[in-house]
Amino acid sequence: MMKLKPNQTRTYDGEGFKRRAACVCLRNETEDEVLLVSSSRHPDQWIVPGGGMEPDEEPCGAAVREVYEEAGVKGKLGRLLGIFEHNQDRKHRTYVYTLIVTETLEDWEDSVNIGRKRKWFKVDEAIRVLQSHRPVHAEYLHGLKDICGPIRSPACSPTNGNTPSSPLTDNSTPHYVVCSTQGSDLVNR
C-alpha cells in the first residue's frame, strides 16, 4: 500500500506498518563512535539518520539513501542490527543496518536545504543523548553491544556508492532481530 505525502510517497507493508530504514553510521570497525544528525523538527536534538522506503525499494537501499540525504556520508553497508517495530500511535517497521563511513561530503542535501548538522559521539554518550527524546533510536545503538555475532544483511544493490560488506552466500539465511518498542515516537523528526 502507498500513501502520497507532499514531497514523498509513504509505503506500508501487508500488516499496515510504515516501511522505514536507517543506518547506525560508524567511524570504523571498532564500532565505538557513531554519527548522529540533528532533527529536522527539533534542531537541538540528535537522531539516527533514516526514513521511509520508496515504492519497490529494498530496505538496505533505502537505508544508504537516507544516510546519504540526511548525513551526507557514504560507506560500506554492514550487518542488519534488527527490525524495530514501533506500535504507539503510528505503526512503523524500521530496518536498521550498520554502515562504516568511508566518505564524508562537505555539503549534502539536508545541510543545504534545512541546515541539518551531524556530529560524532561515543556509543555510550549517543545512547544517553537519544534516550530522553528518541528511546527507540537508543535501542538501535544497544544492538551494537547486544549481538553476539554479525548478522548478515540480505544481498542488495544500494545506491550512492555505498556497498554491502556482508552479502549472503549460498544457502545462508539472514537472521532478523525483531524489536518491538512502545511509547516512543519515531516520526516527529
Residue ranges with strand state E in the chain = 2-5, 8-11, 18-26, 33-38, 46-47, 50-52, 73-86, 92-104, 118-122, 163-164, 178-181
Catalytic residues: 69
69 beta partners: none
Residue pointed to by grid coordinates 536507517: 22
- Of the candidates 79, 66, 60, 92, the one whose C-alpha atom is nearest the C-alpha of residue 186 is 92
Query: For 56, what's the count of Cα atoms within 13 Å in the CB-facing half-sphere?
Result: 0
